[in-house]
Amino acid sequence: MVGMTDAPGSEPHEVPSGAPRYWGADEFMHHDFGDLGRRFELEDGCIVMTPAPSIRHQRVARRLINAIEACLQADGLDLDVEGPVNHRLNSDTVFAPDIAVFRRDTDSDLYVEPHEIEVLAEVTSTNSNRDRLTKMSRYARTKCEWYWIVDQNTLVIDVYQLDGDLYRQVAAIAPGTTATLPGPVPLTIDPGTLA
């Protein structure tokens, strides 16, 4: 079920390997993947492994989290922001969005459920199709009303709102422009400050 790998200059670690097998969300979230410098998500029972985000990606996400947290505190909103966080979409899918704004009274300390989410945000990486297509459609299916995509290269923040079963873009905030994002988090920001 799991195999060993020896990366040059490192100790062996257990990693998922061999023939594909089905993983449930609970099993996935309780499995120790070790510190492999990778990010793991679960999609339809299959483990998806991606490299650790770039330094720029992490900087943009951290600065946005800090700005959101300051906004939540200043406005006295009973919400929390973390990232990445386990977002359990269903019994066999767990994504780790870069940023999640959610109710403080979550049902679990291990993950957040769709009904607890107010805003999900992804900072694009080299494979932005996963953020713009796969994750967008999966988040829409769980009825997450607000989805932000931050392009780590251009720093444009695209704001999407759920309209029926699909997201509709309601704002695009470019660096050099200070604007208040629509939705439950009244964040006023110049995306240029995220670099």
* Separation between Cα atoms, residue 14 and residue 4, nearest integer Å: 5
The reply to whether 37 and 61 lie within a common domain is no
The reply to whether 118 and 40 lie within a common domain is no
Domain count, the chain: 2
* pLDDT of amino acid 67: 99
The reply to whether 76 and 89 lie within a common domain is yes
* pLDDT of amino acid 16: 53
The reply to whether 92 and 136 lie within a common domain is yes
* Separation between Cα atoms, residue 10 and residue 169, nearest integer Å: 45
The reply to whether 121 and 137 lie within a common domain is yes
The reply to whether 106 and 157 lie within a common domain is yes
- The radius of gyration of the chain's CA atoms, rounded to the nearest angstrom, is 17
The reply to whether 116 and 152 lie within a common domain is yes
| pLDDT above 80: residue 97 | yes
* pLDDT of amino acid 17: 61
Instruction: Give per-residue pLDDT as tens, 70-88.
Output: 999 999 999 999 999 999 9
The reply to whether 91 and 27 lie within a common domain is no
The reply to whether 21 and 102 lie within a common domain is no
What's the average model confidence in pLDDT over 151-155?
A: 95
The reply to whether 148 and 67 lie within a common domain is yes
Is residue 93 very low, low, confident or very high in pLDDT (cuts 50, 70, 90)? very high
Q: Percent of the chain at pLDDT above 70?
A: 89
The reply to whether 77 and 166 lie within a common domain is yes
- Return the H-helix or E-strand segment holding 103: strand 99-103
Eight-class DSSP state of 112: B
The reply to whether 59 and 41 lie within a common domain is no
CATH of the domain at 130: 3.90.1570.10
What pTM does this model have?
0.85
Q: Identify which of 75, 93, 117 has the alpha carbon closest to the alpha carbon of residue 27.
A: 93
Is residue 109 very low, low, confident or very high in pLDDT (cuts 50, 70, 90)? confident
- Domain of residue 28 covers 2-51
